[in-house]
């Protein structure tokens, strides 16, 4: 295997098989190899220091941290940015070559490598969201099936928790009653898991420096701060706050032609969960605007006097995203500042 003048080694990740493609700084092919999972770590360790490029998929962050420990520079690329470089007759070696081609581009955007703490926060958030979705689906099934037996419950979790009382008076066959009891037991399990994960997440946030500083922002609690901290990290992957807000789809979508700019609604790209949480924070901030003070509150009041509330909500979510990036980049805390009315 020729590793002379090795500059970029691209890796097509898999569960059991890994495909490597090596090239020099001029893009010339040096080697390609197929390695099993049992041998992949030794293979990476014996490579001379180089750039190790891979798609940002499952296992990429773990592999990236291992590459750092071996003296390599990992570069993670989103899959949609690799796809244009894939040649015809797609196979794993062609994918690896396309990853290397994408990594060699100076204008390519890379995904920041997550630390173990960031991955822990991310996993807790995703697991909690999954349990919440399952809980909502279970509640909807209970409501729908009860309507088939002439029972309409209030759209609250409290009514579902009191379902055993409803079943005592429900005139339905025994198999149906047992089915509702199973639904209630499943709902109770999911409800307890959501509460337990929320408590665990709050404990993790209390130990995380960035998440704690993000909570100094108005209307940002443990859930939002943990989700942002898991994705922003030190903020070095973005040049400025607008780049971060654009990455989660909180900037206007552009439709420019002939030198005439035309801005549409927000692009809604990137992580939907971060965008949703920031929009919820904005809604809460505006709902309690009479209690808010400082430069940000004055700015929101000025926007509300000229624009529709929904426009202001998106603008404020964009502003909060930029503030979050600034706190991560400067290692600071949020300060509201004096209100213009009190100045």
Span 241-263, pLDDT tens digits? 999 999 999 988 888 888 788 87
Q: What is the pLDDT of residue 91?
A: 87
Q: What is the pLDDT of residue 196?
A: 96
What are the structure tokens assigned to 291, written together? 């209690």
Span 42-82, pLDDT tens digits? 999 999 999 999 999 989 999 999 999 999 999 999 999 99
Q: In 171-286, where do the E strands start and end?
A: 252-254, 263-266
Confidence of residue 5 (pLDDT cuts 50, 70, 90): confident
Confidence of residue 342 (pLDDT cuts 50, 70, 90): low
More confident residue, 49 or 235: 49
Mean pLDDT of 285-307: 91
Q: How far is CA 183 from CA 137, 146, 165, 176, 190, in A?
A: 11, 11, 14, 11, 11
Residue % of the chain over a pLDDT of 90: 69
Q: 61: which residues sit within 8 A by CB, 6+ positions away?
A: 76, 113, 114, 119
| Contact assessment for residue 80 and residue 58, using Cβ atoms and an 8 Å cutoff | no
Q: By mean pLDDT, which of 44-48, 79-83, 105-109, 335-339 is the weakest?
A: 335-339
Burial of 43 (0-12, 13-18, 19+ CB in 10 A): middle
If phi > 0 it is left, if psi is from -120 to 50 it is alpha, else beta; for residue 296 that is: alpha
Q: 44: which residues sit within 8 A by CB, 6+ positions away?
A: 52, 63, 66, 67, 70, 72
Residue % of the chain over a pLDDT of 70: 99
Q: Look up the CATH architecture of domain 8-103.
A: 2-Layer Sandwich (3.30)
pTM value?
0.83
Q: What is the pLDDT of residue 294?
A: 87
- The domain limits of the chain are 8-103, 116-207, 210-330
pLDDT at 144 over 90: yes
């Amino acid at each position: 295997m020729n590793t002379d003048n090795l500059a970029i080694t691209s890796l097509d990740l898999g569960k059991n098989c890994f495909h490597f493609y090596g090239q020099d700084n001029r893009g010339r092919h040096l080697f390609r190899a197929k390695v099993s999972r049992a041998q992949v770590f030794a293979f990476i360790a014996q490579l001379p220091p180089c750039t190790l490029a891979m798609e940002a998929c499952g296992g990429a962050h773990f592999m990236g941290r291992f590459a750092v420990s071996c003296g390599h520079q990992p570069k993670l690329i989103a899959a949609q940015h690799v796809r244009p470089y894939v040649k015809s007759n797609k196979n794993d070696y062609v994918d690896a070559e396309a990853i290397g081609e994408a990594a060699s581009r100076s204008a390519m955007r890379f995904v920041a490598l997550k630390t173990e703490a960031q991955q822990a926060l991310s996993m807790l958030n995703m697991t909690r969201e999954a349990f919440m979705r399952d809980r909502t689906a279970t509640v909807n099934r209970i409501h729908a099936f009860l309507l088939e037996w002439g029972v309409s419950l209030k759209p609250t979790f409290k009514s579902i928790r009191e379902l055993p009382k409803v079943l005592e008076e429900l005139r339905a066959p025994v198999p149906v009653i047992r089915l509702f009891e199973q639904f209630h037991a499943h709902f109770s399990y999911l409800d307890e898991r959501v509460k337990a994960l929320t408590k665990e997440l709050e404990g993790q946030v209390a130990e995380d420096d960035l998440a704690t500083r993000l909570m100094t922002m108005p209307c940002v609690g443990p859930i939002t701060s943990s989700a942002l901290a898991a994705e922003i990290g030190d903020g070095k992957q973005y040049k400025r706050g607008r780049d971060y807000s654009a990455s989660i789809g909180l900037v206007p979508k552009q439709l420019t032609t002939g030198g005439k700019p035309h801005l549409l609604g927000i692009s809604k790209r990137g992580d939907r969960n971060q965008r949703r949480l920031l929009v919820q924070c904005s809604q809460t901030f505006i709902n309690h605007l009479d209690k808010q003070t400082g430069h940000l509150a004055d700015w929101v009041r000025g926007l509300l006097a000229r624009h529709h509330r929904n426009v202001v909500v998106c603008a404020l979510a964009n502003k909060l995203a930029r503030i979050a990036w600034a706190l991560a980049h400067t290692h600071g805390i949020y300060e509201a500042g004096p209100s213009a009315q009190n100045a």
